[in-house]
Amino acid sequence: MFRITLLTQTDCGLCEHAKQVLDDVGNDYDLHVTEIDLHSDIGRRLAQDARVLFAPGVLLDGEPFGHGRLSERKLRRTLRRRHDRH
């Protein structure tokens, strides 16, 4: 199982895109997605630690993966590599 933390904000089109990508990828990989508001205390802390400049921010297993438009191709490639290692 892969743990995804999604840092979002309201009225964010890229956040909605990221949620759709995660739904699609979740059909092929076991994902546990936690959505956290970027403006909450924990959201601000996670964003600062991960150097997320704007929403959406994505952490994969607690490590920074990216922010802004989520690339489904990059995510699938990363998950495939991690899956193949185990």
The pLDDT tens digits of the residues spanning 4-22 come to 999 999 999 999 999 999 9
Topology annotation, domain 2-85? Glutaredoxin (3.40.30)
Other C-beta atoms closer than 10 Å to the C-beta of 25 total: 18
Domain ranges of the chain: 2-85
pLDDT in tens, 25-76: 999 999 999 999 999 999 999 999 999 888 999 999 999 999 999 999 999 9
